[in-house]
Structure formats: structure tokens, C-alpha cells
Amino acid sequence: QVTLKESGPALVKPTQTLTLTCTFSGFSLSTSGMRVSWIRQPPGKALEWLARIDWDDDKFYSTSLKTRLTISKDTSKNQVVLTMTNMDPVDTATYYCTRISTSLNFDYWGLGTLVTVSS
Amino acid sequence: QTVVTQEPSFSVSPGGTVTLTCGLNSGSVSTSSYPSWYQQTPGQAPRTLIYSTNTRSSGVPDRFSGSILGNKAALTITGAQADDESDYYCLLYMGSGISVFGGGTRLTVL
């Protein structure tokens, strides 16, 4: 059974760095073809793809946010970590992590974690 | 900048058929875009409906189907039901590891 769960602070201040952790089970990110992505959704707005990390440690970022994002994995802990620097109130959103399997199938999603940016 | 376009809203009658589309502001959508579709109701995480253009995710009813229509990806719901009233998002692969979501379509069933 595949599960993913996002964790991190519910509230961050402007200019701070956000660190989110996706803890998953039911698969290994060392298995060829496996990938994990982060996606966010501001309240009442559309989904936005943020970043992806692959089984071979390849990393990819949203064009508009790549200067602020870092994605990494700890295969032994079954975790993927996303950091976002210089947080702003417009970054207030629910952040989701997802597993990606063959044919770019975003097949399993976490429940998401709401991050509010406010002083 | 690449923008993925979707109809902001759509309405369908119960039992009716509706086709939502997903395009690009510049260029055409093809199977190489690996178009996928997601359904989301308020307060819930998205649910994957379709991936790789036309493959239904596990447990998704066959009244949902995906295709390429002209230069866009399409999601067709045949025999719409009340609980199909949701937001629908498409996701396209742009190459170089990057994916982009569309702005979403709010579907009303009435």
C-alpha cells in the first residue's frame, strides 16, 4: 500500500526558508523509474507543479521558481525534502507530494499540508 | 512563457456528455506531452483520472476517457453524474523534466 504524507511548519514568516518533508511508504525511490514531485495550491487557486526528483537523483524545477527551490531525497528514510527560500505571503498554499510511476503517472498523492506565510 | 489553457468553467446536464480541453498558448499538445487529468473536490487532494493521454487510473469509471483532439488534450465524461461536479486539472509534460498544470475547469452538473 502506497502512502505519502507531507509535514512541515504551518506558519512561516516572510523572508524565511520553508522546509517540507514528504515521508512515504509502499515503494522505494531507489527503484528504477520511480519519481516524487511537489505540487502546491494557493487557497481557491489552481494547482502548480514545483519540482521533481527521480530514482537516479536527477532533479527538476519549475521555471518560475527554480532559483528558490531545492529538492533532495533520503532513500534510507523514505523521505523527500523540499526547501523554498525567501517565503512571501503569495506562497501561502497547500503543498502536496506525489509519487510518479511509469508513463508519468502521478498515481498517489499525500493529503497535503497548509503553509501560511505571515508576519 | 508556456501557459496551459483550460476552459474556466463548463456545465453539463445529468446524463449528458462533456469534453474538457487542455491546450498550449504556443504549440500543440501531443502524446509526447503525456497529458494527465485530475479531479478535485473542495478540501480534498486531487484524484488522478487519466494519465499518458488515455490510460484510466485504477478504479476510475469508464465514463471518463482521455484523448487528443486536434492540437489539444481532451477529457470526455459520458453520462455525467451529480458527483462529477468538481474542478478538473490537466497536467502536461514540457520536456527537460518540467511539467505544467492548466488553470483548471470548474464543472457544474445541472
Instruction: Report the percent of chain A where pLDDT is more than 70.
Output: 100
Average pLDDT over residues B77-81: 97
User: Per-residue confidence at A76, pLDDT binned at 50, 70, 90?
Assistant: very high
CA B35 to chain centroid: 8
Q: What is the mean pLDDT of chain B?
A: 97
Q: What is the mean pLDDT of residues A77-98?
A: 98
- Contact residues, chain B to chain A, C-beta under 8 Å: 1, 34, 36, 38, 40, 45-48, 51-52, 55, 57-58, 89, 91, 93, 96-104
Q: How many CB atoms are closer than 10 A to CB B45?
A: 19
**Among A61, A104, A112, whose Cβ lies nearest the Cβ of B34?**
A104
pLDDT at B1: 81
The distance of B45 to chain A (nearest Cα, Å) reads 6
What average pLDDT does range B54-77 have in this prediction?
A: 97
Per-residue pLDDT, A102: 87
Nearest C-alpha of chain B: how many angstroms from A49? Answer: 6
Average pLDDT of the residues in A89-112: 96
Kindly report the average pLDDT of chain A as a whole number. Answer: 97
**Are A104 and B99 within 8 A, CB to CB?**
yes
Is it the case that residue B50 has pLDDT exceeding 90? Answer: yes
Rounded-to-integer distance, Cα A24 and Cα A4, Å: 4
Residue B2 pLDDT level (bands cut at 50, 70, 90): confident
Strand ranges (E), B1-110:
4-6, 9-12, 17-24, 36-40, 47-51, 55-56, 64-69, 72-78, 87-95, 98-101, 105-109
Sign of the torsion angle spanned by Cα atoms B57, A23, A29, A41: positive
